[in-house]
Amino acid sequence: MSRKGMSTRSVHDGDKSLHYEGAINTPIFQSTTFAFPTEEPRTWNGEIPDGTYIYSRDSNPTVRAVEDKLASLEGAESSLAFSSGMAAITSALLTFLQKGDRLVAMQDLYGGTYAFLKNEMSRLGVDVTFVPTTDPAELCAAIDGRTKVLYLESPTNPLLKLIDIRETCRLAHQKGCLVMIDNTFATPILQRPLELGADIVLHSATKYLNGHSDVIAGFVAG
């Protein structure tokens, strides 16, 4: 973790303003497309160097700045921004799960997440098991050889139930299971699950990260 305080990191980390003509604030880039990364396109090998932008659907300097800021706050190697919290959650789940896999999840989850797991993941051939407890041993007892992901929330939405993240991650990793956790209600100011052993952290930035109900966004960090 950086020695800078959370307030300093919240303001300054990820800021790329001085890269752009000395701007005091990171500019809002509205361009959909950027100049080719080489003057000789025929010699391009397809690799996009870090810090080079091609198309805003893939990456954009403004979006990259907020991704770097969230990664710093969570103590993550990197993060990705999405158009909503559910976009972040579903993208992460679909990255690690495929037909025939199994997922174990807490039963007390955000309604949108619960509905996606129950209806859509099952339709895609993923076996989903909901465990009605926050006890680490009971949760991890449901993990078997086919289980690829243990999905958690803490505090839960809306019941604000808490889980011992460190112990749950320890037990899950003993069984070779990846741990995803929704950190929306705590934010990295109060809780950093990666420091407690989680593999992937998820956020609906629409809520506390934004703070004033005028943004819909999501993040995956790890």
Q: Which of 110, 114, 148, 151 is catalytic?
A: 110
CA nearest neighbour of 140 among 109, 178, 84, 187:
178
Do 61 and 81 meet the contact criterion of CB atoms below 8 Å apart? Answer: no
Per the annotation, the verdict on 182 as an active-site residue is yes
β-pair partners for 81? 219
Report residue 102 as tokens.
């199994």
Per the annotation, the verdict on 53 as an active-site residue is no
Phi, psi of 161 (to 5 degrees): -75, 145
Distance CA 37, CA 164 (A): 47
Per the annotation, the verdict on 144 as an active-site residue is no
Distance CA 171, CA 150 (A): 11
Whole-angstrom CA distances from 58 to 36, 141, 155, 209, 219 are 14, 39, 32, 23, 15
Per the annotation, the verdict on 102 as an active-site residue is no
DSSP of 19-56, one letter per residue? GTTT-SS------SB---SSS-GGG--S---TT--SBT
Q: Which of 53, 69, 182, 192 is catalytic?
A: 182
Q: Which of 3, 42, 50, 57 is catalytic?
A: 57
Q: Which of 16, 166, 170, 207 is catalytic?
A: 207
Distance CA 85, CA 23 (A): 30
What are the catalytic residues?
57, 110, 182, 207
